[in-house]
């Protein structure tokens, strides 16, 4: 069995504060999901956000990655939230 990839907690100071979440989005894209925007993460009034067309495959992510406590997977809301940086990945319906 392949070891899980560890997702790092968000960096405290970065020009691209979402960079630690890119492996999650890239894995979902490799599995066939698509982004609603040309840039994967878009800066909105509430912060950085990635919006996907299809629902997030949480079972796939939990098998592939180890997440720090600050990153919350929320299947009931169809989203992933980094509680430290308030960056969100939102799945579609």
Contact predicate 71/87, CB 8 Å: no
Torsion, CA 75, CA 85, CA 47, CA 56, rounded to 10: -20
Give pLDDT, residue 1. 63
Collect contacts of 59-62 with beta carbons under 8 A, ≥24 apart.
60/27, 60/28, 60/31, 61/24, 61/27, 61/28
Which pLDDT does position 33 carry in this prediction?
97
Residue-level pLDDT at 12: 75
Residue ranges of the chain with pLDDT lower than 50?
none
Buried b (16+ CB within 10 A) or exposed e, 48-57: bbbbbeeebb
pLDDT, position 81: 97
């Amino acid at each position: 069995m392949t070891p899980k990839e560890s997702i790092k907690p968000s960096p405290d100071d970065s020009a691209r504060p979402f960079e630690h979440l890119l492996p999650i989005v890239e894995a979902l894209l490799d599995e066939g999901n698509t982004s609603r925007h040309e840039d994967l993460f878009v800066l909105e009034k509430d912060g950085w956000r990635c919006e996907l067309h299809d629902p997030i495959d949480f079972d796939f992510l939990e098998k592939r990655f180890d997440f720090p406590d600050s990153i919350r997977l929320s299947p009931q809301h169809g989203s992933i939230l980094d509680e430290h940086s308030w960056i969100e990945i939102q799945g579609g319906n």
